Amino acid sequence: FDDDAWWRSAVIYQVYVRSFADGNGDGTGDLAGVRARLRYLADLGVDALWFSPWYPSPMADGGYDVADYRDIDPAYGTLRQAEELIAEARELGLRTIVDIVPNHVSDQHTWFQAALDAPPGSPARQRFWFRPGRGADGAEPPNDWSSIFGGSAWTRTKNADGTPGEWYLHLFAPEQPDLNWTHPLVWHEHEQILRFWFDRGAAGVRVDSAGLLAKHADLPDLDLDHAPGQHVHTDRDEVHDIYRSWRRLADSYPEPRALIGEIWLPDLERLARYLRPGELHTVFNFDFLACPWEPDRLRASIEQSLHLHEEVGAPATWVLSNHDVTRPVTRYGRADTSFAFETKRAGTASDLILGKRRARAAALLMLALPGSAYVYQGEELGLPEVEDIDPDRIQDPMHFRSGGVDPGRDGSRVPVPWSGTAPPYGFSPDDATGEPWLPQPATWADLTVEAQQADPASTLRLYRDALRVRKAAPALGDGTLTWLDTPADVLAFRRGDDVACVVNLSADPVDLPAHEEVLLASADLEDGRLDSDAAVWLRLPTHDTPE
Ligand code: TEU
């Protein structure tokens, strides 16, 4: 594939800026910290960096509440620094993906502040979803929608004289009012925002909550019997118009820009519709992420994804983790591995040993599949979920909106350990004035980048080797896959003529197919056999006549 289609096979590394590296010693990650670690990222062997929102934000949702889409949060640095970072990364071969949040803005955004100051029915309010309440004195929300973080999706405003006023819609936290995408100014504004970042060298955007933008114009109560594409706020047919227009914009650049959708849809056929020609380039494959560590389920998920993507002509993507879900080492160590999104507490030390074995095998599986893949910062270090954060330190609104029932997502957002044997593990410089914004466990000395770089058996070295082999083997990356005949509970497939990936999900060691070379293994091979919960990449003998 030509360079313009880099996104078809790219490995994209997610930088959660707040927790990646702290350059100025205030305990919060920043752009100076990222810049100082660019060499690490280039050496890791990824192709692109996706930065979670770095814009000015009151941080009611870790930056997914954006106050100004055309600047950088002062805690992270300056716009100038971001421009330099994009350019410098590119010189090291790393493209930049910017996170765009089009469904909602921060309640501190000038548009929403103007809307609050303006009377009901005014143009300033029409860019959002303001409605009078139901019931006596409008004391009930306008409809029965729930916020994804818990509670009602509506919050009541106050009139200028202090009396209760209209309600506004927020599918997430009250600090994240939803935009009205039927409004031409909303549409226009986002095209300008895309241009702003594309003009500064961004190679693409990740589109946050991309399936939620269109709402039923009447804002009726939920109706579970709706026709396809007619849900009141999720995956509505009209939302595709937005991405068709964005695709034209992205394609108008000499080096076309990639559009990556974040869309949580259990129905993969509906998901594939976003990848039709002229729409998004790729979408995150959350079906794979959420798939339990079970051979039949994994194989079915992989097959269905490949099938649907091939039909629509887009590459599949593979993702094991991000800043919203439980870390794989913790998740795969549980007896029931199907709970990707709920942190079940009390993982034991032996759970983590099992989880780590499986997470390593899952990494080799993911990186051998056709298409592009994502690595979330710390995944390459095998960081576990931090399940015992002091409730006083938790910041995730999901925790508070659930009344403290949901532990929230901060356990996957703990600052990265770089070096040394105690917090802040080099996350902040030695003369730091602030503590890391979330506490790091005292037990992470063996998980630092420094420690893992020195250990050939580390998860960091496994990721680095896998990315190097993947780059060197033309058969890996985009293309097709051929399943190999294997014993039950073993997944094995060939890529191209001569590379195979074998994952043993059975309880016993298995023999490997005939091979010329072991390219990489997630665990030591015992007498040439692949242990339970391990994966291997093999170079197969090439035949003159292909099978
Ligand atoms: O997530 C979208 C989304 O639907 C998530 O809330 C998801 O359901 C949940 O996190 C699963 O645990 C995106 C961002 O990735 C997330 O961090 C933001 O909180 C959310 O949008 C709002 O912008």
d(CA 17, CA 11): 18
Question: Does 277 reside within a domain?
Answer: yes
Indicate which CATH number applies to the domain containing 125. Answer: 3.90.400.10
Q: Which of 170, 209, 376 to mutate to test the pocket of ligand 1 (most atoms within 8 A of CB)?
A: 209
Indicate which CATH number applies to the domain containing 192. Answer: 3.20.20.80
- 338: confidence class by pLDDT, cuts 50, 70, 90: low
3-state secondary structure of 169: strand
Is 374 found in the same domain as 260?
yes
Question: Does 128 reside within a domain?
Answer: yes
Please name the residue whose Cα sits nearest to atom 16 of ligand 1: 324
Kindly report the average pLDDT of the chain as a whole number.
Answer: 95
> How do beta strands 490-495 and 482-483 pair?
antiparallel
3-state secondary structure of 461: helix
Q: Is the pLDDT of residue 1 over 50?
A: no
Mean pLDDT of 148-170: 96
Does residue 262 have an active-site annotation? yes
Is 411 found in the same domain as 381?
yes
Is 425 found in the same domain as 350?
yes
Ligand 1-lining residues (CB < 6 angstroms)? 61, 64, 101, 148, 172, 208-209, 262, 264, 323-325, 341
CB of 328 closer than 8 Å to CB of 356: no
pLDDT cut 70: percent of the chain above it = 97
Query: Interface pTM (ipTM) of the complex?
Result: 0.97
Domain limits for position 65 = 3-105+182-453
CA distances from 528 to 215, 362, 372, 521 (A): 57, 20, 30, 11
Torsional sign, CA 63, 68, 69, 75: negative
Is 33 found in the same domain as 117?
no
- Separation of CA 520 and ligand 1 centre (Å): 34
Atom of ligand 1 nearest to the CA of 101: 23
User: Which of 426, 453, 480 is the endpoint of a domain?
Assistant: 453
User: Could you report how far apart the first and last alpha carbons of the chain are, in Å?
Assistant: 25
Q: Is the pLDDT of residue 346 over 70?
A: no
Residue 88 CA to chain centroid, in angstroms?
A: 23
Q: Residues 474-531: pLDDT tens digits?
A: 899 888 999 999 989 999 999 999 999 999 999 999 999 999 999 999 999 989 999 9
CA distances from 75 to 22, 63, 104, 313 (A): 10, 11, 22, 41
Contacts 24+ apart (CB under 8 A), 455-459: 458/382, 459/356, 459/359, 459/360, 459/363, 459/380, 459/381, 459/382
- 544: confidence class by pLDDT, cuts 50, 70, 90: low
CB of 253 closer than 8 Å to CB of 265: no
Q: Is the pLDDT of residue 348 over 90?
A: no
Torsional sign, CA 36, 41, 42, 43: positive
Is 425 found in the same domain as 307?
yes
Please name the residue whose Cα sits nearest to atom 2 of ligand 1: 209
Mean pLDDT of 297-317: 97
**pLDDT for the residue 402:** 86
Question: Does 495 reside within a domain?
Answer: no
**Pick the catalytic residue: 47, 166, 208, 396?**
208
Is 331 found in the same domain as 275?
yes
Is 96 found in the same domain as 120?
no
All residues at 6 or more sequence positions from 464 whose CB lies less than 8 Å from its CB, including other chains:
43, 44, 45, 380
**pLDDT for the residue 285:** 97
Q: Which residue did the predictor score with more confidence, 476 or 343?
A: 476
- 229 phi-psi bin (left φ>0, alpha ψ -120 to 50, beta other): left
Is 230 found in the same domain as 150?
no
Atom of ligand 1 nearest to the CA of 173: 22
User: Which of 435, 453, 471 is the endpoint of a domain?
Assistant: 453
pLDDT cut 90: percent of the chain above it = 91
- 340: confidence class by pLDDT, cuts 50, 70, 90: low
Q: Which residue did the predictor score with more confidence, 402 or 462?
A: 462
Mean pLDDT of 199-206: 98
Q: How many Cβ atoms are within 10 Å of 229's Cβ, its own excluded?
A: 14
Question: Does 41 reside within a domain?
Answer: yes
Mean pLDDT of 60-89: 98
CA distances from 517 to 520, 528, 537, 541 (A): 9, 11, 9, 9
**pLDDT for the residue 300:** 97
Tokens of 76: 């992270």
Is 449 found in the same domain as 380?
yes
Question: Does 546 reside within a domain?
Answer: no
Is 375 found in the same domain as 294?
yes
User: Which of 414, 435, 453 is the endpoint of a domain?
Assistant: 453
Question: Does 465 reside within a domain?
Answer: no
Residue 437 CA to chain centroid, in angstroms?
A: 21
Q: Which of 148, 175, 264, 344 to mutate to test the pocket of ligand 1 (most atoms within 8 A of CB)?
A: 148
Question: Does 533 reside within a domain?
Answer: no
Is 194 found in the same domain as 162?
no
Is 242 found in the same domain as 198?
yes
Q: What is the 3-state secondary structure (H, E, C) of 321-367?
A: CCCCCCCHHHHCCCCCCCCCCCCCCCCCHHHHHHHHHHHHHHHHHHH
Q: Which DSSP state fits 204?
A: E
DSSP codes joined into one string, 266-333: S-HHHHHGGGSTTS-SEE--HHHHH--S-HHHHHHHHHHHHHHHHHHT---EEES--TTS--HHHHTT
Q: Is the pLDDT of residue 539 over 90?
A: yes
Write out the E strands in 368-489.
372-376, 482-483
**pLDDT for the residue 350:** 82
- Give the chain's domain count: 2
d(CA 494, CA 537): 10
Q: Residues 136-145: pLDDT tens digits?
A: 999 999 999 9
Q: Which of 14, 109, 172 to mutate to test the pocket of ligand 1 (most atoms within 8 A of CB)?
A: 172
**Pick the catalytic residue: 47, 166, 235, 262?**
262
Question: Does 480 reside within a domain?
Answer: no
Q: Which residue did the predictor score with more confidence, 66 or 391?
A: 66
> How do beta strands 48-51 and 95-100 pair?
parallel
Q: Residues 240-284: pLDDT tens digits?
A: 999 999 999 999 999 999 999 999 999 999 999 999 999 999 999
